[in-house]
A and B are shown apart, each in its own frame.
Chain A
Amino acid sequence: NAGVTQTPKFQVLKTGQSMTLQCAQDMNHNSMYWYRQDPGMGLRLIYYSASEGTTDKGEVPNGYNVSRLNKREFSLRLESAAPSQTSVYFCASIPRWIAEAFFGQGTRLTVV
């Protein structure tokens, strides 16, 4: 049971480049989330998907787009990367409304 898998683990982008962060979970969870983690700021929600076919903005959605491709996969896209998007990105999933979240290992993104 792999849990939540994120790819890639590390990425360096130049300003203006685009990329997609991939997330997949094999636990048949309904809800999936994308967070960014920055020093001193904790985890901030970018987007989430309560169920397959739905997505909603979180606290910091600007500069990002998401796709809930199916129940397993939830991708995060940066259309035109900016240095302010340098961060560690975490994907998470939960099986039901008041359950705990399961996190991926993270993607460390640097935009130069």
Chain B
Amino acid sequence: AQSVAQPEDQVNVAEGNPLTVKCTYSVSGNPYLFWYVQYPNRGLQFLLKYITGDNLVKGSYGFEAEFNKSQTSFHLKKPSALVSDSALYFCAVRGSNTGNQFYFGTGTSLTVIP
């Protein structure tokens, strides 16, 4: 079965500190991995994706993520958090054998403390 796990419902980090939002996945075939951010009362916005190639992917707003095949993980990172990064973050996966469906995690609420 295909699934995405975001083990932390809530992550708090001080402004200026590095942040990590964790994601692990299980999918049939090669994984295609995505991170989205959702601000209050808004739709999801794309941050970055891993399709193939370099395991370190850079995306919007200074975010990056590292694909680790052996650990089936795709953690989202940022070297220095901003208060404006406070939002809900979703990891998503689709597999080369899973047709057209995306599978989303349950989301991690990030709060950056001034």
Question: Which residues of A come within 8 Å of B, CB atoms?
Answer: 4, 31, 33, 35, 40-45, 48, 50, 56, 58, 90, 92, 97-98, 100-106
State which of B32, B41, B46, B49 has its C-beta within 8 Å of the C-beta of A102: B46
9 residue pairs of the A-B complex, CB under 8 angstroms, read A40-B106, A42-B107, A43-B44, A48-B100, A58-B101, A98-B94, A103-B36, A103-B45, A106-B42
In Å, the complex CA distance between A44 and B43 comes to 14
Contacting residues, chain A, for B101 (C-beta < 8 A): 45, 48, 58
Q: How many A-B residue pairs have CB under 8 A?
A: 51
Contact size range, B: 20 to 34
Interface of A is mostly: strand
Question: Which residues of B come within 8 Å of A, CB atoms?
Answer: 9, 32, 34, 36, 41-46, 49, 51, 90, 92, 94, 99-102, 104-107
Residue of A nearest to B34 (CB): A100
